[in-house]
Structures are given as structure tokens and as C-alpha cells.
Amino acid sequence: MDTQTDIKKCPECFSNNHSKAKFCSECAYSFYGSETLADSSGTRFYLTRYLTVSTALRLITAGILLNALLPQTNEYFVILRFAVCFTSAYLIYVAIATKNYAWIVPFLFLIALFNPIILPAIRRNIWNIIDVATAAGLTLSIFFINEKLKTVKTE
């Protein structure tokens, strides 16, 4: 057999793997669904790197925050506070697991600000600015902190 066709490079750690391998032998990167898009310069974007649980939570929470700009009931804002607190707590876990310790402080701040138990006395127009900034921050954080999906290798 030709050894050139039996080897494929892992896009995460660039190690050599057998062409029929399902996961990278070094970092457990899944070759399933690793379809790539290329821009005009030939840069490759791996979609599976960003399609994670924390990404879904951040996008859903950002949508809830932006929907808060419309007239809503008080119950909606309680749900919003719980959603932001839960998402922030999960992202603190991801930050610790991936050793991105600098992200712990902003997420702790969000938990304190959107605390559903003790409500800060802030006017509605200021909350609108906070909601937009938080939605933007959560969305942008997708590119800076994400969990690495590890899988159990079977022989």
C-alpha cells in the first residue's frame, strides 16, 4: 500500500494518523463531521471546533438577552437571570477545565450582576445596554474559550 494515502494529519495537533482512524491518536480529535470551509486565501475553518455545548448555551443566552430589549413580563427577566447565571457557571467550569483562568472573573461578575435572588437597582435603559454588551461578550467568547471534546479510544 502507498503510505501517503494511509496517513492523514489531525487539524488540532497535526499528528499523523491512519487514514481509516476515527479519532486522532494524540488528542482524540474526532474526524467525524470535520468538514471544512475555505475562504479565498485558502484558510481552513474547522466547524466542529466551535459546535459544542458551551457554544449552544452562549448563543441561546445571547438570544434571550437580545429578546429582553422588547417589552417583556417580569417572569421573562427571572428566566433571563437564571439563564445567564447557569451559562456563566458552566463557562467557569469550562474555563477551569481548559486552564483559561482569566475568564473566571468576567463570568463571576455576570453571576453577581444577573443574580436572580438579590436584584440590583438599575434602571431599564441601563439594563438594555448591559444586555447588549453581555450578549456580545458571550458571543465573542466562543472564539476564545471552548471545551475540547475528549472521547474514549477503543481498540
Cell for 32?
Answer: 467525524
Asked if 135 and 60 count as a contact pair (C-beta separation under 8 A), the reply is: no
3-state DSSP of the chain: CCCCCCEEECCCCCCEEECCCCECCCCCCECCCCCEEECCCCCEEEHHHCCCHHHHHHHHHHHHHHHCCCCCCHHHHHHHHHHHHHHHHHHHHHHHHCCCHHHHHHHHHHHHHCCCCCCCCCCHHHHHHHHHHHHHHHHHHHHCCCCCCCCCCCC
The domain spans of the chain are: 1-48, 53-143
Chain segment 8-43, per-residue pLDDT in tens = 666 656 666 655 555 555 555 555 544 443 444 444
Cell for 77?
Answer: 427577566
pLDDT at residue 34, rounded to an integer: 43
CB 150: neighbour CB atoms within 10 A? 11
pLDDT band at 4 (very low <50, low <70, confident <90, very high): low
Please give the angle made by the CA atoms of 103, 50 and 53, to the nearest 5 degrees.
Answer: 75
CB 17: neighbour CB atoms within 10 A? 19
pLDDT at residue 31, rounded to an integer: 53
Chain segment 90-117, per-residue pLDDT in tens = 999 988 888 888 999 999 999 999 998 8
Give the predicted TM-score (pTM) of the model: 0.64
